[in-house]
Every structure is written in C-alpha cells, then in structure tokens.
A and B are shown apart, each in its own frame.
Chain A
Amino acid sequence: MDLGILAFGGYLPQSRLQRTEIAKMHGWYNPGLKGLAKGERAIANWDEDAITMAVEAARDCLKGQDRSSISAVFMASTSFPFEDRQNAGVVAEALNLKSQLMTLDLAASQRAGSSGLSVALQAANGSGAPILFTASEQRQTKAASPQEMTYGDGAAAVLVGKGDVVARFIGAHTESADFVDHFRGSGHEYDYAWEERWLRDEGYLKIVPAAINAVLEKTGIAAGDITTFCFPAAMKRVAGMLAKKAGLNETAVADNLQATCGETGAAHPVVMLVHALETANPGDRMLVTGFGQGCDALIFEVTDAIKTLAPRTAISGHLARRRADSNYARFLTVNGLVTMEEGIRAEVDKQTGLSTHYRNRDMAQRMIGGCCKECGTLQFPKSNVCVNPNCGAIGTQEDHAFADKKARLNSFTSDRLTYSPDPPAHYGMIQFEDGGRLMADFTDIDPDQDLQVGMAMKLMFRVKDHDKNRGFRRYFWKATPDNDDQGTAPAEAAE
C-alpha cells in the first residue's frame, strides 16, 4: 500500500485587506511600503485564530472521509492561541474525533509546517493509521511594517496515511542550519527581522538548493521531472532563481499566492501544496519546501485517485469566498494594534468555569446535541427530557452531531447595543433541516448581503469569547450564510 496524502483541505479567512489601504495609511511614515502595495491579503476575523482556521481546513479535508480511523491530529503553527493547552487537542474535539487519539503541537519555526508534514508521514508509515495534519497561522505584525504587507492568515490540512492516496510520498530531506533571518523571543508579540538581501543570498539561495539537490538525489528523481515547485516565500523572483539553480523547469514554479492571500507562515508550504493538488493531474510530481532554520524538501507524486476525491472548497474555493476589505481601522482594532473605547458593556467578566467547560465540552466544542430514540426529534443542546411536546420521553436522547448540518434562517437582527469587537453583532435563530435549532451568533456577515428568513446557513467553529483578564479564549459554533446553497425553497417547519 502506498504512503501519502489521502485527502486535503484549506481555509482562508473571508476578508481580504487591500494593501493599497495599508500604504495609504502609512505612506507618510514609511514611503517604502508603496512598493509592496499591490494585491490583497487574507485577514482573520476577530473571532478567528490558528485553531479555528485549522478546524475549518480540517473539516474541508475530511469531506467524505471516515473520521473514525484517524489515529492522530498534529497541528503546526508559530501563532498558537495557547502556549500551554494543547491546540491540536481543541482541533480534534471540534472535529468530533474519537478520544483514542494522539494529539501534538509542532511549533517554533517557520519550518513547523513542512517538518510537521514529514513527521506525520513517518508516523503514519509506522502506525499504519491515517493522521490528520493541520498547519495554521495568524501572524501578528506591527503597523507599518513590511510584514504587515506580506503576511497573510490561513490554514491547510492533509490526511496522510497508507491506502488509496491522491499523492504518493516519494521522499524527503531536511537541511538544518541555525540561520536566524528573523525571530520572535519568548513573551514578544512581533517578529524581529534582519536584512532581506542577506536572507536571500545566504539563506534561500544557499540552503534551499542544498535541500532540493539532496532530496532529488535521495529519491532518484530528475530535476526536470518536477512539475510543481512550492516555495513559500513572499520575496519576488527568488523561487525562479532557485528553480534555475536546481535545474527545475521554470514552469514548475507554483503561485506563491502573494497577490491574493499573503504568506501564511508555517502553514504556507501546506497551503501551496493543497492549492497545487486542486488542479493536479495524475503523474505530476510536486516538490514542497519549507524554510526556517534550515530547509525541508518533500516530493509527492500525484495518482489517479485524485480524480475520484469528493469536491472540496480547498484554497481556490476560499480565494473565491472573498470580500474585499478596505477598512484598515478594523484590522488594527481586531488585532489589538490600537486601543479602542469599547464602552462599559465590554467590561463583563468573561471568566470560564473550567469544570463547566469540561463537563459541557461535547455540546460546546463538538456541537453534539440529542436525538430522541422514542420520537426521532433532534434537539440542541441534548437534554434529559425530549423537547417534542408530543413526546417528552426522559433519558432517551442519543448523541447527534450538528456541526455539518444544513440550516435555514428563521429570524435575525443586527445589534448595535450589545458589545462586539466588530459591531454590529449579528445573530438570530437558525433551524437545522433535519430538526433542531440554535439562537446563534453569526459570523462573516458581508455588509452588502441582505439576510433573509429562509436562507441557507451553515456553522463555523469560532472564538466565542476572549477572556482578556486571564488570557483564555472559549470556542463555539457560529452561523454564516451558506452561499453555496442559496436559492432553494425555505425548509418546512417540522410538524
């Protein structure tokens, strides 16, 4: 049986900050930014972080897949929301995976994504069971820095293991070097960077070719047979220079997504890989690199199975699920780069009872409700007594997962009174097509989209509350218009 990628998925936040807006704001201060002021970058909403984006990428990846066979969830990032609480564990819970599972965070280098993928493949080879690998990044940048222009937020996920793989793993090699082009010290929020020309000449152009040459030699693949070269760096022309240096075809250089997304850090090798897989043909050979204190190089060969994989949103779909955002002030606000007057209503203590949180984790993190064995009524949350007025049976409810259920909008409002980091707060009642309902917070509401009773909605995993006093954040599911499923008749009310 082949070892490789069984499925893939991606996620990019909906909002795309226009780089011209950043330059417009900071041109007086740093005119040099104008040179980078082209295109747009994906920016996380206030209720998104590396965990929520990893969950969405993983949900995309697992479309049509058997979740029960997954043996491990790995998450790679340098922007984990938690330094001490396993981030991959939150992802696994949100995906409603079984508890007989290894979860692991991979961090502390831009290479976390590519090295993590390597490790996941090795582990899956050993255990024989599929491993879900996610890479996700929400990188904090200082206002008016070049990084603010080039970085982006996003995530990707791959299911690796043995079997009917869509891309066979051919081999990998890692060059390790404590080459510090930038760093972020413990307790510091932002990256500190050294000169770009040095990074290019002493870093990229020396370390990356060494890794590429080694992996080609190790796998016996000719440089000219590589059809796709994923080099995840924003710097212009470097990928082309590297290709030339390593003897790769010029046409193999993959789009680094700088124009449409921005560089998603440790996630970017996997984001680019997923983007390439979306349009790959059987026989394509993909060379994926990741740079950071050395370089990883991995080679995959696309198989016939790629043609049979269920449709998914992946990176292209999320690039299309876009909203041009020219509100730079909001970007500053939700990233905490400016102190806004939030009003007294924001002072409500958001402390989470950790015992309550644990006891209710199936409801709050896995979106598990109940299905009454007596009458079949679905309900959320799961409760002791069936809510169906014609039933009322006690203790009859079995677990029922709601996260992927289609829903319709029943009632809604946009609220300017309640505190929201991004007012107005949108919320309303959604009704699941098979039964059950939720008074839900909404997220990613496009100001130009009219909400309508009866329209299709779906759930996304998001930050429910930030507890700023204690650094905790709580997650729950929020509703957003399901733009892929509009235009059909509103659901009939059950009964």
Chain B
Amino acid sequence: MASGIRDKVAILGMGCSRFGERWSDNAEDLMIEAFTEALGDAGIEKNQIDAAWLGTAIEEQHVGKSAVPLSMALRLPNIPVTRVENYCASGSEAFRGAVYAVAAGAADIALALGVEKLKDTGYGGLPQRNRGSVNDLFWANVSAPGSFAQLASAYQAKHGIDAGDLKRAMAHISVKSHDNGSRNPKAHLRNRIDEDKVLNAPIIAEPLGLFDCCGVSDGSACAIVTTPEIAKSLGKHDLITVKALQLAASNGLEAQHNSWDGSHFVTTRKCAERAYKEAGISNPRDQISLFEVHDCFSITELVTMEDLFISPEGGAVKDIMDGFYDADGKVPCQIDGGLKCFGHPIGASGLRMIYEMYLQLQGRAGDRQRKEEPVFGMTHNLGGFPHQNVCSLAIVGKMGA
C-alpha cells in the first residue's frame, strides 16, 4: 500500500454557513459565509491560497457548471480551480483534491469549498431529474428515500429482525439527531422530537416515515489546508491533521451480480478497511472518538455502523437502543445533528462533517462539545443509491495521535 496521507496535511481553518431554508440568500452568499469564517480561522489572506476545489452536485439548481462560480464568488486571483462532483460525496471530493495537492507539494495552501442551494426547486426533497438517456430506458423510477428504504427489507430478512424492533431503532436514530441538532446553532432542524412522533409520521417510502429522512437544505462549508510545517510557521499549534482519505465507487456488482444481498454497503466496507489501515487504526470501536456518517435516512446510519465495523453484523439495533451512539454514549454519532438535522446541502455535506470533527477535536464545539477529549474523528459520505454508489471516508485527528 502507498504510504498514505497520515499527518501529511493539516487543517488550517474551516468555515460553515448556517444550514437551512435560506430563502433570501443565493449560492454566492452561502459560499462567502463559509469562506469568510474559514479565512478568518486560518488567519491568512485570500491571495495566499494556491489552488481551490469546488464541490457541488446539482449545479443546474444554482451556480451552473465549471469552477468559475467559485472563482467569481470569492474573486480568487486566477488560481487553478477545479469543480468536482461525486453525488453526495462531492464536498469530500473537494477536500480530497485540496489535501492531495498540498501533500503532493503542488500547493502550499489549498481551499476546498462545497455548496448547494436546494430550496429553489418548489418542493421538499431532492430535485427530480432525468438520469441520462440510456438509464432512463430501464432504471426503476426510484427516489432517494425509496432506494435507501430497501435496505430495511433486505436487512430485516437477512438478520431475522422484527419489523417493529427495526423501526424503533431507526426512530431512536432520528430522535438522537434532533436532540443533538437542538444544541447546534447552525443546524437546519433544531426541534426535539420523541419516538412516537417518528413512528406515527406519514410514510415517504416504506418503511421510512417523514422523520426517517434527512432535511434538504441550502448551505456551504469550507476547509483551508496546508502542510503541518507551514501551519506551525503561521503560528498554529495543536494541529488537526488528516489521517486517512479513502474513496470507493461501485463497479456495478451490487446492481448486476447476485452476490450482494442488499442489506449493506459493499463500498463502505471496502473503504473502511483501507481507511483504518491508512490511519493506523486497528480497533475502530475503541479508537475512534466520534463519527459523522451519511445519515440521509435512519436506516442508512443503522447499517453504516456495521459497515464501518463498529457494531457487529446484525448488532446495530442493540447498540443503538443501548445508547452507544448517543451524544453521551460510548462513541457519539452525529453529535452535530447529522444530515438529518444539521441538513444536507449535497455538495457541502462532506465538508460540514469534517468541520464538526475539526471543532470537536479542538474543543470549540460549544454546547455540544464532547467532554472526553476526542482524538480521532471519522466522517463518512455516501453518494448515489445503495446498489450504485460512491463512499468517501475521512479520518482526522490530533497531530501525531
């Protein structure tokens, strides 16, 4: 294996806009909001940035194609800017681009910014779009909740789990995210809910009800990265560095080969093995302090905790009900409210997860700060559909940990 990214790149500064229904703001406003915070946090000037990456997915909805919208919005000084898109992992892709550029020595300081303006569609949920002229010939008429909802049917059948037990564990996930989101001033949804409300909500896609689904939000998040040496030279100490960055894309096996049972993510498992190895983590259940996972739907978070090898296979229901992943549990998951309540502006989500880890690792997370000093934080992004997706993982932690 390659030597990996561990401790080669430090996070110099980060920023995140308030997520939500930002009716009076456009994508440029959101980008500036995240960028201004990050630049101030990094303590540098704009012209010290050597290269930038823009992550955005449904560009038809807001900024349009290419990297120019970022370059124009921030008035960057004609530096290289690249637009990346990998479904809901687009923000993580922007981060990967910036981190790798610094690690390669191609840039001293690089910027990653993700943005999405989703609330201009005229309805809730993600925009309904064509899937390409060949896919439209044969793809089922899936929505995001419908494609992810199927995990529940396959998971239940595989592990012989009672439908009611599974639904209650899913509800616990949503209640937890609302509790956590209520303590986060930048979160889209800040109301607390109870299990009954989740269980009695209208069905979106069987068995997912309204509260099993994440919010669709406007928002932007941003990271400025550099080498540990430069960070120190800029007066930074107690550095937060990148420990692992991994990506796994489906190759069509899940969609076309009968070896996949539909109850888990092939890509997450492969990606996790590589990420732990790259970060030098041998026992993730004990070593990782915090998780931000792609909880687009409650069932996604549930199976992901097994795919990341934290809960044993078939054991996530128990861990969840035991409070293992609660904010005051052994290993909190979505301590900031997650996609569910912080919100899900697609291109910004991966960077928002890293933003939360960065704050928590530095002890700057305010009311929701984890008391036990976190050492490693892991973020997990999924793009696409369970049977055809991209998984992106990042592990960040204290320098030298």
Contact = CB atoms under 8 A, between A and B. Distances in A.
Contacts of B137: 352, 356-357, 360, 363-364, 464, 474, 476
A365 to B, nearest CB: 9
B387 A429 contact: yes
Contacts of A495: 258-259
Contact of A427 (B133, B134, B140, B255): B140
B206 to A, nearest CB: 4
Interface stretch (B120-128, B177-185, B311-319, B375-383): B120-128
A377 B208 CA distance: 34
A415 B142 contact: yes
B256 A360 contact: no
Given A363-B137, A418-B143, A411 B150 contact: yes
Contacts of B125: 417
A387 B250 CA distance: 11
Contacts, number: 149
Interface string B254-278: 0111110111000000000000000
Interface stretch (B61-69, B151-159, B330-338, B354-362): B151-159
B138 interface: yes
Given A417-B205, A439-B140, A410 B154 contact: yes
Most chain B CB inside 10 Å of its own CB: which residue of A343, A381, A436: A381
B253 interface: yes
Given A387-B252, A417-B125, A464-B137, A427 B261 contact: no
A356 B137 CA distance: 9
Contacts of A349: 130
Contacts of A418: 128, 141-143, 146
B136 A465 contact: yes
B257 A441 contact: no
Contacts of A432: 258
A71 to B, nearest CB: 29
B257 A377 contact: yes
B253 A436 contact: no
Interface in B155-185: 156-157
Contacts of A357: 137
Nearest to B131: A348
A441 B140 contact: yes
Contact of A417 (B146, B157, B257): B146
B75 interface: no
Nearest to A370: B256
Interface in B90-136: 121-123, 125, 128-130, 133-134, 136
Give the interface residue-count category, chain B. Answer: 35 or more
Contacts of B343: none
Nearest to A378: B258
A429 B262 contact: yes
A376 interface: no
A169 to B, nearest CB: 40
A364 B133 CA distance: 12
Contacts of A481: none
A440 B140 CA distance: 5
A412 B130 contact: no
Contacts of B5: none
Contact of B138 (A379, A381, A424, A425): A381
A415 B146 contact: yes
B401 interface: no
Give the interface residue-count category, chain A. Answer: 35 or more
A414 interface: yes
B333 to A, nearest CB: 24
B203 interface: yes
Given A387-B252, A413-B149, A494-B259, A439 B205 contact: no
Interface in A109-158: none
Contact of A344 (B123, B134, B154, B202): B123
A427 B149 CA distance: 11
Given A413-B205, A428-B153, A453-B157, A437 B140 contact: no
Interface in A457-495: 464-465, 474, 476, 493-495
Contacts of A377: 257
Contact of A352 (B133, B142, B202, B205): B133
Contacts of A474: 136-137
B133 A389 contact: no
Given A344-B121, A415-B146, A439-B387, A389 B255 contact: no
Most chain A CB inside 10 Å of its own CB: which residue of B149, B205, B258, B263: B258
A348 B150 CA distance: 24
Given A387-B252, A437-B255, A437-B256, A476 B133 contact: no
Given A381-B138, A428-B153, A439 B255 contact: yes
B145 interface: yes
A353 interface: yes
A454 interface: yes
B154 A411 contact: yes
A98 interface: no
B128 A345 contact: yes
B249 interface: no
B107 to A, nearest CB: 36
A380 interface: yes
Given A413-B206, A415-B146, A425-B146, A383 B259 contact: no
A416 interface: yes
A411 to B, nearest CB: 4
Given A413-B153, A416-B203, A348 B129 contact: yes
A364 to B, nearest CB: 4
Nearest to B204: A417
B160 to A, nearest CB: 11
Given A345-B128, A411-B153, A415-B149, A427 B142 contact: yes
Contacts of B23: none
A494 B257 CA distance: 8
Nearest to A381: B138
A171 interface: no
A420 interface: yes
A419 interface: yes
Contacts of A353: 133
A375 to B, nearest CB: 11
B256 A387 contact: yes
A439 B142 contact: yes
Contact of B253 (A360, A380, A387, A416): A387
A99 interface: no
B252 A411 contact: no
A345 to B, nearest CB: 4
A457 B203 CA distance: 25
Nearest to B385: A439
Contacts of B261: 410, 493
Most chain A CB inside 10 Å of its own CB: which residue of B125, B136, B255, B262: B136
Nearest to A355: B133
A106 B122 CA distance: 46
Contacts of B387: 429, 439
A353 B132 CA distance: 10
5 contacts: A344-B123, A348-B128, A348-B129, A357-B137, A476-B138
Given A412-B153, A494-B259, 10 more contacts: A389-B259, A413-B145, A413-B147, A413-B208, A416-B203, A419-B128, A424-B206, A436-B256, A474-B137, A495-B258
Q: Which 8 A/B pairs are nearest by Cβ-Cβ distance?
A: A415-B146, A411-B150, A453-B157, A353-B133, A418-B143, A413-B149, A411-B262, A427-B140
